[in-house]
Amino acid sequence: MSMRSVGLHVLADISGSTSPLLNDGSGLEVLMRQAAEASGATVVMSHSHNFQPQGTTVVVVLAESHVSIHTWPEWGGATIDAYTCGNADPERLVDLVIAGLAPTTVRRATVPRTVPGGPDDAGFRFAEFITPVDRYEHDLAEVLAEGTTEFQDFLIGRSEVWGRMLILDGVVQSTEADEFIYHEGIIHPAMYAAASVAPVTDVLILGGGEGASLREVLRWSTVERATMVDIDGDVVQACRAHLPQHHRGSFDDPRVTLLHEDAVAYLRSLPDDSLDVVISDMTDPVEDGPSTFCFTVEYFEQIRRILRPHGVLAVQAGPSSPVEIALHAKVIRTLREAFEHVIPYAVDAPCYGRDLGFVIASQDPLDDRLTVERMALSGANLTGEHRWLTLQLLVGKLSVPPYLSEAIAGRTDVFRDATPPSTARAAGWES
């Protein structure tokens, strides 16, 4: 990787210590200064602050950065933080502090630190939180575009593994290496289902800033009008400029209308029974994000109103791994408040590190429309070749695993405008 590495950051949480140093700021200062010097660091200054009735905080400033500790004597615990650059060894530093406190339990992590940007390095590392306690780190060899819009933070970068990728609010949305799995997965089940009844002529995409969902919709030759509504024009413009392999010119197709409006408000402006397929290709719901109210009963009821009787909705419904199943199951339960027929399915999403859940919904039955034989007929108007999807694979994906069925059955609550998703700012996580 083209990367400017500037040091190591060691984090340690301890418990089970009976050392009197946990309540002795001056004594801890001595221990930490000695540990720093023994690890090859240069001590610049130190300070301690004792709390009443107990506990202390100590910070030691190093020429190479710092080491700090905060204690909870009543629990026999402390949190330790050591970061150094140069030749100092923060792991040895933390080892020596821990040895001086003799805890029974230690949890620790070492994080390489890098500096983004600069004339000699166009890349950096960022961490995406999968759950509040798990993260997935990515190294970018190059940053192509980044900024903060009215709605979100965005970054388009190049990974030497995944190719170009779009990141919104610190969460990977898609990568060149595997975006075809996501976009074939969200678009074509709904299109096959709708096309099995009547030619698909009118499609609405809500979100989908990269243009790859639009690309897949336009592969259906019967499509006469494809409207894409994405609230963030700055992000779409960046994707047009820097993700050409995602959209492949789809924004310039004469069948396309591109609008930068709020999806919820736009839905209210549409006439009843006017669309064959709606794709809700929104980001995961996080507090104060642009998609918070795109997973509620009211949102789905508006989509039901504008779909033709045989029309189909496809929804990006969050990760579907067993540890994140709560939000996904609640989205499905919410959809069942608005639609008679709802089928969840998952795609394997390598860049996310776990499966991603989609849902299709319609007022008319779906199962008999999604057989291999019927899809083979309805797909006669589909151009190009799939890279991931096969008809047999899709039929298998529509079989709901028992753990998901149990999770859905266990939900009686739904998302409403008055009670939208709350995710602890971790994508797909229900707090």
For residue 9, tell me if it sits in a domain.
yes
Q: For every one of its 431 residues, what pLDDT tens digit does the chain have, with 9 covering 90 and above?
A: 334 567 889 999 999 999 999 999 999 999 999 999 999 999 999 999 999 999 999 999 999 999 999 999 999 999 999 999 888 999 999 999 999 999 999 998 887 776 655 444 555 677 787 777 787 888 888 889 989 999 988 999 999 999 999 998 888 999 999 999 999 999 999 999 999 999 999 999 999 999 999 999 999 999 999 999 999 999 999 999 999 999 999 999 999 999 999 999 999 999 999 999 999 999 876 556 677 889 999 999 999 999 999 999 999 998 898 988 888 999 999 999 999 999 999 999 899 888 999 999 999 999 999 999 999 999 999 999 999 999 999 999 999 999 999 999 998 899 998 988 776 555 556 65
pTM tops 0.85, yes or no: no
For residue 265, tell me if it sits in a domain.
yes
For residue 24, tell me if it sits in a domain.
yes
Contact 313, 190 (CB under 8 A): yes
Catalytic residues: 281
Which residue range forms the structural domain that includes residue 107? Answer: 5-114
For residue 252, tell me if it sits in a domain.
yes
Give the Cα separation of 101 and 97 in Å (integer). Answer: 7
What is the domain-level CATH number for residue 323? 3.40.50.150
pLDDT of the residue at 149: 93
Helices (H), 208-275: 212-217, 233-242, 244-247, 263-268
Task: Answer yes or no: do 251 and 108 share one domain.
Answer: no
For residue 417, tell me if it sits in a domain.
no
Q: Which residue has the tokens 């991603």?
A: 356
Give the Cα separation of 22 and 16 in Å (integer). Answer: 11
For residue 391, tell me if it sits in a domain.
yes
Dihedral sign (CA 83, 85, 91, 94): negative
Task: Answer yes or no: do 105 and 154 share one domain.
Answer: no
Task: Answer yes or no: do 128 and 62 share one domain.
Answer: no
The backbone torsions φ and ψ at residue 72, rounded to the nearest 5 degrees and listed phi first, read: -130, 85
- CA 318 to chain CA centroid, Å, is 8
Task: Answer yes or no: do 153 and 110 share one domain.
Answer: no
For residue 314, tell me if it sits in a domain.
yes
For residue 28, tell me if it sits in a domain.
yes
Q: How many domains does the chain have?
A: 3
Instruction: Take residue 430 and report the two structure tokens written for it.
Output: 């229900």
